[in-house]
A and B are shown apart, each in its own frame.
Chain A
Amino acid sequence: MSTIPDDQLDRPGGSAWTSKHLLGLEDLSSGEITAILDQAAEFKRCSLESNTKLDLLSGTVVANLFFEPSTRTRTSFSLAAKRLSADTIDFTASGSSLSKGETFIDTARNIEAMGASLVVMRHKSPGAPHLLARRVGAAVLNAGDGTHEHPTQALLDLFTIREKRGSFEGLTVTLVGDILHSRVARSNIWGLKKLGARVIVCGPSTLIPPRIEELGVEVSHRLDDVLAETDCINLLRIQFERQRGAFFPSIREYTHFYGMNAQRLKAARDDVMILAPGPINRGVELTPEVADGPHSVILDQVTNGLAVRMACLYLLHERLRTGVGQ
């Protein structure tokens, strides 16, 4: 592993990025989203593909505060920070803030006092990172706030689609499954709409939140009806842990109507792209042959997630360092 000097790095994203925090895609302009994607493409090329560590955040402390269980997002952020030569602090806790005797804001301020200037936070309550952003000097990066937003997941989905298709114009993306409890769905809707895609949300009526059409999406309850017009299918995970009570009668019935299997793949477009944010429930949202088949980009998403998170950390760091937009 080697490092490349700062001046040999292309910085396509630098000038368009002005936000201090990354809290959600609702707040971003299409220019800012594109800035992240362009920067991520650059990192993918000059770091991930050549297995090169970049000397861009050395001396910077990145804190990963995960107040809700996570393996892949936490690992991805941690590695992204290390690839940029930052020092990292990983803090994991679960349970409500009060049961631990310390609020997450106090925890974050303690970590900030140790020198962290970038705070990556996952929390089970919507708005928790927004609250934190008002209380700390550090830049806050939302790694998922309850059922609200998960901006980096949506950005890596956007990156993966753009990488394969080049553009969002004329593209139809269908988000399938539990839209009600999905932060991935909300962030994807904002991002896809801002970049010009057509978005369909498809799931049982109990899992489609009210007035979602007002976000500019179309609603379908039958996956079979929309397969033929869909370019990209994003299969959202059934959030067993967020569901109180019965939103659908059984897993078997869910899979019958919404599971992606070989038969549905035949009815889909020849070049259909299958995305899933993971962790996937094999046999529920999709069968193994679909997950592991040629249309699946699930593992590309994981690699791209690293590039996107590097880009987010880097742009927030640059914004802090230069004070642009202040």
Chain B
Amino acid sequence: MTTTVIRGGRVIDPVEGRDEIADLWMVDGVFAEPVPGQVDRELDAEGMIVCPGFVETQAKLQESGWEEGETIATATAAAVAGGVTSLACLPETEPVVDNRAAVEFIRRQAERTGSCHVFPLGAVTKNRDGEELAEIGQLVEGGAVALTDGKRPIANAEIMRRGLEYSSMFGRRIFDHPQVPELSAGGVMHEGLYSTLLGLRGIPAAAEEILVARDVALAEMTGGSVHLMTISTAASVGLVRRARERGVDVTASVTPHHLVLTDAELQTFDSNCKVDPPLRSREHIEAMMEGLADGTIEAICSDHRPVPIEEKDLELDAAPFGIVGLETMLPLCVRALIDSERLEWPQLIGLLTSGPAHVLGIDRGSLVQGQVADVVVIDPDAEWSIDPSQFRSQCRNSPFGGWQVRGRVEVVFVAGDKAYSREGDA
């Protein structure tokens, strides 16, 4: 029997509604009652927040196919450094995760080389082409926790309808990137004042809202479960809020970068600010904040998308979309939501743990006894400077280099074992 105690921290568990100064016990990799007698490992967490490990709903891992950008080993190392202990990965690999063997490869590779739990997402359609359903049942049997075509929107409404119907048979959710391709084609930024100023092709807010409305309608009709990946507009938040009030099984996430950056950032033409969906204007951010505060949006995800510098460091039209986000998620959330007094810590922790665990349908994101002991210890007041050259991710595509931030991941446990320590003794 191996016993670990984290002593004297502010223990927050959004599932149990717990927020108290307490000791947290882990025995043989699961949360447990205090055990009398010998303690094998002990950690003093006075002044720290002790909470469930973060759950990431969508990271692009690049393995297999683009290992020069990231591998499961480097992405999961980045994950734990950012406090993430469970990582769901997009099927945007080569070959695409649209068959059982590909799902099993990711799980095996994660067991061999990963630093945290990896939950594969399977493709909704073969080769993510949006034309024929993939073998969803066998993907689920192989370990896919949900289905998605990643950043390719499921444009065909008939396919989306049948996908929702079919996947509900297996109790799995479909994740859609809501964006009408005809309206977003060629776009590199939010359509608004700044796209007009800069002469850059815009992606209108309506491109997202149309698919959000369609997906809500199809989920309502079929009784299926849909997750709207990283919504970014005010009207999307409103559509999701009303759908949830009606009892439609719809969830939504946002990214931290959409909360701290606006489309005005593109004035520098920095391709690190080119993300999909695009950075929006102030009024959209305001609505996302409200959606997070009232529970309309259940999850914050990093939308980690590594891009090698030689591909990213180009003119905006040519550079791919994406920010490498796992290692900056916490301090950006603190800036956007805690420093602005929008949320209290327990709410923020919920958006990073139990919320995304519910979206994924996995048994994580709480400190309930008997559950796998994934823990993150946070210093909520530590001030530090973001330095992309220190990232554990293989890529550096982040616009946050040099930012002075607050809130730092100190120690991370995965299944009771120390998987990361800022001081380097993990």
Residues of A within 8 A of B (CB): 26, 96-98, 103-105, 123-128, 130-131, 145-149, 183, 186, 209-212, 214-215, 244
A146-B199, A244-B185 known; A125 and B318 CB under 8 Å? yes
- Give chain B nearest CB distance to A133 CB in angstroms: 10
Which residues 169-213 of B sit at the A interface, judged by CB distance below 8 A? Answer: 185-186, 191-193, 195-202
A210 touches B198 (CB 8 A): no
| Known contacts A148-B198, A211-B192, A214-B193; A125/B185 CB under 8 A | no
Specify which chain A residues have a CB less than 8 angstroms from the CB of B202 in the assembled complex.
Answer: 210
Q: Are B199 and A103 in contact (CB under 8 A)?
A: no
Tell me if B217 counts as interface (CB < 8 A to partner A): no
In this complex, how many residues of chain B approach chain A with their Cβ under 8 Å: the count is 21
A-B contact count (CB 8 A): 66
Min CB gap B1→A, angstroms: 57
A209's partner among B186, B196, B315 (CB-CB below 8 A) is B196
Given A149-B199, A209-B196, check contact A128 B185 (CB 8 Å).
Answer: no
Question: What is the chain A residue whose CB lies nearest that of B201?
Answer: A147
- A210 near B318 with CB under 8 A, answer no
A131 to B193, CA, bound (A): 21
Task: Judge whether B316 is part of the interface by a CB distance below 8 angstroms.
Answer: yes
Q: Are B196 and A210 in contact (CB under 8 A)?
A: yes
Cβ-closest chain A residue relative to B189:
A126
Interface of A is mostly: loop
Other than the given A145-B199, A147-B200, 19 more pairs (CB < 8 A) read A98-B318, A103-B314, A104-B315, A105-B313, A126-B200, A126-B269, A126-B316, A127-B198, A127-B269, A130-B269, A131-B315, A146-B317, A148-B198, A148-B199, A149-B199, A209-B195, A210-B196, A210-B202, A212-B196
Known A-B contacts A210-B191, A211-B192, A214-B193; the reply to A128 vs B199 at CB < 8 A is no
CA distance A97 to B268 in the complex (A): 20
Q: Which of B191, B199, B268 has the most CB of A within 10 A?
A: B199
Contact with A along B304-333 (1 / 0, CB 8 A): 000000000111111000000000000000
Kindly state the separation between the CA atoms of A210 and B193 in the bound complex, as whole angstroms: 7
A97 touches B192 (CB 8 A): no
Q: B401 to nearest A CB, angstroms?
A: 14
Is A211 a contact partner of B196 (Cβ separation < 8 A)? yes
A108 → chain B, closest Cβ, in Å? Answer: 12
The residues of B that contact A212 with a CB separation of less than 8 Å are 196
Give 18 CB contacts A-B under 8 Å. A103-B314, A125-B315, A125-B317, A126-B200, A126-B316, A128-B315, A131-B269, A147-B199, A148-B198, A149-B199, A186-B197, A209-B196, A210-B195, A210-B196, A211-B192, A211-B193, A215-B196, A215-B197
Measured between beta carbons, the chain B residues less than 8 angstroms from A103 are 313-314
The residue on B at minimum CB distance from A128 is B315
Q: Are B193 and A126 in contact (CB under 8 A)?
A: no
- Residue among A126, A130, A183, A211 with the highest chain B CB neighbour number at 10 A: A126
Q: Which of A97, A130, A149, A214 contacts B314 (CB 8 A)?
A: A97
CA A79 to CA B320, docked complex, whole Å: 38
Enumerate chain A residues within 8 angstroms of B195, measured Cβ to Cβ: 209-210
The smallest beta-carbon distance between B286 and chain A, in angstroms, is: 18
Complex Cα distance, B195 from A241, in Å, reads: 19
